[in-house]
Amino acid sequence: MLERILLGLGHDKLWPRVGYAYLGFFVILALTYAFGLLFLPEGVMKTLPLPALTFFEGEQSFSSLVVRTLGYNLFALLLIVGMNHMRVRRFTFGYLPLYANTFMLGLFAGTNSFSGGISTYSFEGWMMFLRIGFLEFSAYLLVCAATVKLAMFHANRWRGEQFRKIRKFKEIRLSGQELAVILFALGILVVAAFNEWNYVGQ
């Protein structure tokens, strides 16, 4: 199954790539959530220092928090797009930070380690995830899948082979469908940022 997902992430057509990207997300999220729930103490990750939290410290207005959240998520998108310029076989590297974040999300949720007072073991916690976290990850997934064809450097093996340049920057092209998906993902991020800080302000 894992090999099939890895191959599907580099599918020639956009919508199969999107489907496999979501499949990989849910598989990793479910496995790490179950691991955290079954084998780790509840709240064990609350003490971890998260760089993202320092970004929002201090008194700030609602509009400032929304803009900062968008800025943080846009930085994550740029990292994903930038790493998608490198590919081994059919796997582009933009999926690495995306699924590393998914891994951490699953552990935080499985150990109920999020701040804010809402348990991830509750229906309310899952509804909040759907309104905020799932929208953010959907944007990451869509942009990553839409920019797979940006790959400029390719290798056939993970070890023992140097990357070779397969196209020039000016030769990079995205289809109208891929550009539309990217714009849709940016819209999702705006909604997620508004939902997040609207909830905090309640």
Question: 50 falls in which pLDDT band (50, 70, 90)?
Answer: low
Question: 56 falls in which pLDDT band (50, 70, 90)?
Answer: very low
Domain segments of the chain as ranges:
2-200
pLDDT, tens only, 26-46: 999 999 999 999 999 998 988
pLDDT, tens only, 172-198: 889 999 999 999 999 999 999 888 767
Predicted structure pTM score: 0.90
Is-contact 77 141, C-beta < 8 A? Answer: no
Encoding tokens for residue 154?
Answer: 């390719």
pLDDT, tens only, 64-92: 767 778 888 999 999 999 999 999 998 99
pLDDT, tens only, 116-158: 677 888 888 898 899 988 999 999 999 999 999 999 999 999 8
Residues 195, 65: Cα–Cα separation, whole Å:
11
Residue 115's pLDDT is 73
SS (H, E, C) the chain: CHHHHHHHCCCCCHHHHHHHHHHHHHHHHHHHHHHHHHHCCCCCCCCCCCHHHHCCCCCCCHHHHHHHHHHHHHHHHHHHHHHCCEEECCEECCHHHHHHHHHHHHHHHHCCCCCCCCCCCCHHHHHHHHHCHHHHHHHHHHHHHHCHHHCCEEECCCCCCCCEECCCHHHCCCCHHHHHHHHHHHHHHHHHHHHHHHHHCC
Residue 152's pLDDT is 94
Sorted by sequence, the CB contacts under 8 Å of residue 197 that are 6+ apart come out as 62, 65, 66, 69
